[in-house]
Amino acid sequence: MAKALLIDVTRCTGCRGCQVACKQWNELPGEKTSVSTSWTNPKELSAYTWTHVDFREVPNRAGHPTWNFVHKRCFHCLEPACVSACPVGALQKTEEGPVTYDAARCMGCRYCMVACPFSIPKFTWDSAQPVIAKCTFCADRLADGQEPACAKTCLTNAIQFGERDELIAEAQGRIQATPGRYVNYIYGKDEAGGTSVMYLAGVPFDRLGFKTDISLEPYPERTWEALSKIPWEVLGVAAVMSGTWWIIQRREKNGANSISKKAKR
């Protein structure tokens, strides 16, 4: 059975322990930031911040202001557009739930960034060998029988890890038990054909910065239709990058073979 996460925004206290745990487990560097008007720090997801807590002040049904702390990261779609867009298979959807990334295969075309309906994948532009960067769903921890670092560290159980079907039943149960606490919707249950990261909230999702114009149909069928509209100049750059990537890979392979032969002499 595929694993998933259920994130209950009404339970989050904004401690950002999940954000820290993600950086710690994945050995991501700190970033220079500044105080923003939204009190969110850093301001958004980046190539070095794969899990981000966004602060949102939204009036409740009575008109009183409420603080909402929204955990954002890759949704790990059931049928990912990024996977279907990748021409070299650097991105893969696993049976366990995570969408994984193999930097050794990536040629830097960034089609995945264009294809993602949630605009999640980032690029390490400041690196001499840039790669795609996003949440991994702690695939290495799952393979070792552990839960993701963000869920493990959450003190209020706002992030719950488990089987996707069971989490949907859990979410529906919370809505039915306390309808005044939640909007009657599970974000991610159906968006983009369903995702492995789902949300409950006490205010409408569009007020929390979620995209509400996401198709409920899987995106892979639309991927190449959308990519076909990219200007030929951009495709030309991608082709050049592909050729460069092939040459570099061949040189590295030849270099490795040469070293191996010398070592045997």
Please say if the pLDDT value at position 253 is more than 60: no
8 A C-beta contact, residue 70 and residue 53? yes
Retrieve residue 130's tokens: 């840039």
Cβ neighbours for 35, distance < 8 A, ≥ 6 positions apart: 41
Per-residue tokens: 228: 């076909």
Task: Look at residue 22 and give its three-state secondary structure.
Answer: helix
Find where tokens 């206290």 sit.
13
Whole-number Cα distances in Å, 4 to 75, 93, 123, 250: 9, 13, 25, 39
User: Which residues, 6 or more positions from 120, have their beta carbon under 8 angstroms from its beta carbon?
Assistant: 45, 73, 74, 75, 134, 135
**Bigger pLDDT: 39 vs 179:** 179
Element (H, E) at 251: helix 232-264
Which residue in the block uniquely carries the two structure tokens 């923003």? Answer: 36
Q: How far is CA 186 from the centre of its chain?
A: 18
Which of 47, 134, 129 is closest to 83 using CA atoms?
Answer: 134
CA distance 145 to 143: 6
- pTM of the shown model: 0.83
pLDDT, tens digit, for every residue of 111-123? 999 999 999 999 9
Q: What is the pLDDT of residues 159-203, one digit of tens each?
A: 999 999 999 999 999 999 999 999 999 999 999 999 999 999 999
Residue 169 Cα distances to 21, 101, 164, 165, 166, angstroms? 27, 30, 9, 6, 5
Tens digits of per-residue pLDDT, 86-140? Answer: 999 999 999 999 999 999 999 999 999 999 999 999 999 999 889 999 999 999 9
Rounded Cα gap, residues 70 and 4, in angstroms:
17
